[in-house]
Chain A
Amino acid sequence: MNDIASKVLKGEPRSVARLITLAENNSPDAAIAMKDIHPNTGEAHVIGITGVMGGGKSTLISEITREYRKQGKKVGIIAIDPTSPFSGGALLGDRVRMMELAMDEGVFIRSMGTRGMLGGLTSAVYDVVEILDASGKDIVIVETVGVGQAEVDVIKIADSTLVVLVPGLGDSIQTIKAGVMEIADIYVINKADRPDVNQTVAEVKSLVDIDCSNKDRKKPVLTTNARNGEGIKELVNEIKKHKKYLDNSKEFDNKRMRRYEAELIEIIKKRLMNLIFDESKFKEKVESLIYKIFKKEVDPYTAADEILGKILK
C-alpha cells in the first residue's frame, strides 16, 4: 500500500495534513494515495454547515464538536474561507472561534481557501472529506464560506445540511434566496438571546410548513446560543435523528451517489482544464484559436468544438 495512505489509515495527523496539502495542490501523488484511501471511506457522517455571514457558524461548530466529543466521537472539521480572486491569497480565521479544540487529539481542523471555486466550497474538499473519514473520524463537519445567494454546493457533499440564520436581520429570509433555503435538512436560528428571535423562528417555520418536497420528514427549526451552549445538545440530537432517518430511507445511498457524481465532475473539469490550458501540448493551438476568435475568423463555439474534438478523438 501507498506509504502516506497507510499512515493516514492509522490516523497519523501529520500524514493526514500532508495528504490534504497534496490534494489541494492537485499533486499526482494525491491521486495515487486516494486509490488506497477510497475503499476505506463511507463510515463518517458528513455534516455541512452554511448560512449567513456572521451567523456564528464557527462558534456553533466548536460547540457541536464538544458535544460529539462528550459522546466519544472523533471529529474532523474543514473550515472554508474565500480566496481573494485578485491576489490568490486568503485569510483563514475560523480557528479563532475553535481554540478550545486545539489540543484535543480527537479533533482535526483544517482551514482551506476556496482557490477560485464558486459555490462556497473548494474543489479539494471531496478528497479532504475522504481523507478525514479514512483517518478514523466519526463525524466530518464542512463549514462553507458565508452564504450569499448561490452557495449551495455543500449539499453535494454533506449527508446532513444545517442552514444557520440569526434573528433581527429584518426580512432575513429574503436576503438568502430560494436555493439556500431549500438545501437545509435542519434550520438553526443561532444567537437566540437576541430580540426578534420568535419572529425569525415563525418566519422560517412558515416556510417549512409550505414546503412539500418531502412528505415523510418535516424540517426542524431549532434555536441555539452557541456562545453559552444553549440548545446544542438538542441540535446534535436532531442531527443524529436525521442520520437515522437517512439510514432507514433510500435517500442516503442516493445522496452518496450524488456526492461521487459531483466529485467526478470536479476531477474531470480540473483535468480537462489542465490539459487544455496548462499542458504545452495544446497551448499553441489554444492561443492560435483565441487569436482567430479575436480576428473573427472563427466563433468561440466552433473553436471549443475543435479543441474538444482533438482531445476526445
Chain B
Amino acid sequence: MERKIRVLIAKPGLDGHDRGAKIVARALRNAGMEVIYTGLHQTADMIIETAIQEDVDVIGLSLLSGAHMTLFIDVTKLLKKKNMQDVLFIGGGIIPKEDVSVLKKAGVDGVFGPGTHTEDIVVFIKNNVKL
C-alpha cells in the first residue's frame, strides 16, 4: 500500500507574494506529493482547520512580510494545543538567521530561506515526515 505524502502550502497573514509558495507547491507535486494549496491571507486557525480536514502530513508556510515570529509561532502553539505534533511543520521566506533557532525551538521543524534548492525541501520532507 502506497501512502502519498499530503502537504498543505499556505501563506499566512497580510502578504501577497505567492511566487515562492507556488514554486514550492509545484516542486512537491513533481516529487509525487499531493499538495493542497490554499493561497493568501490565511489565519493560524484557518491553517490548522484545513490541516485537520485534509489530514496532511506536512504544513509548509511561506512568509515574506516579516511577521514570521508571530504567525509561525501561533501555528506551533495551535499544533501543540490540538495535539498535532506529528504533523511536520516547515516555513520559508525572508527569515533572518537569528530568528531561525528561535523558530526551531518553538516547534518549526525546518526553515528554508532564499536560495534554497527545491530538491532540498523535497529531501527534508521525505526524511522527516511521519507517515
B2 near A25: Cβ-Cβ < 8 Å: yes
Which residues does chain B contribute within 8 Å of A113, judged by CB atoms?
Answer: 4, 34
Q: How many A-B residue pairs have CB under 8 A?
A: 84
User: Roughly how many angstroms separate A24 CA and B5 CA in the complex, as a whole number?
Assistant: 12
Interface string of B25-56 (1 = CB under 8 A from A): 11011111111111101100110011011110
Question: Which of A59-67, A102-110, A183-191 interfaces with chain B?
Answer: A102-110
Does A42 count as interface, using CB distance less than 8 angstroms? no
User: Roughly how many angstroms separate A110 CA and B50 CA in the complex, as a whole number?
Assistant: 9
Q: A13-B52, A17-B53 are in contact. Are A95 and B36 (CB under 8 A)?
A: yes
Which residues does chain A contribute within 8 Å of B29, judged by CB atoms?
Answer: 84, 87, 89-91
Q: From residue B29, how far is it (CB to closest CB) to chain A in Å?
A: 4
Q: Count the B residues whose beta carbon is within 8 Å of the partner chain — how many?
A: 29
Return the chain A residue nearest B82 by Cβ: A14
Return the chain A residue nearest B43 by Cβ: A103
Q: A89-B28, A90-B35, A91-B25 are in contact. Are A110 and B3 (CB under 8 A)?
A: no
Interface string of B72-87 (1 = CB under 8 A from A): 0000000000000000
Q: From residue B121, how far is it (CB to closest CB) to chain A in Å?
A: 14
User: Roughly how many angstroms separate A24 CA and B33 CA in the complex, as a whole number?
Assistant: 14
Q: From residue B65, how far is it (CB to closest CB) to chain A in Å?
A: 18
Q: From residue A282, how far is it (CB to closest CB) to chain B in Å?
A: 17
Within 8 A of B (CB), among A1-56: 13-14, 16-18, 20-21, 24-27
Q: A84-B29, A91-B35, A92-B34 are in contact. Are A17 and B52 (CB under 8 A)?
A: yes
User: Roughly how many angstroms separate A108 CA and B4 CA in the complex, as a whole number?
Assistant: 21
Which residues does chain B contribute within 8 Å of A21, judged by CB atoms?
Answer: 6, 55
Does A96 count as interface, using CB distance less than 8 angstroms? yes
Does A111 count as interface, using CB distance less than 8 angstroms? yes
Binding site for A on B (CB under 8 A): 1-4, 6, 25-26, 28-39, 41-42, 45-46, 49-50, 52-55
Counting from the closest, the 6 A-B pairs by CB-CB distance are A89-B29, A17-B55, A96-B39, A88-B32, A21-B55, A102-B46
Binding site for B on A (CB under 8 A): 13-14, 16-18, 20-21, 24-27, 83-84, 87-93, 95-96, 99, 102-103, 108-111, 113, 115
Beyond contacts A92-B36, A103-B46, A110-B54: 6 other A-B pairs, Cβ-Cβ < 8 A, are: A83-B34, A87-B32, A90-B34, A91-B35, A95-B39, A109-B53
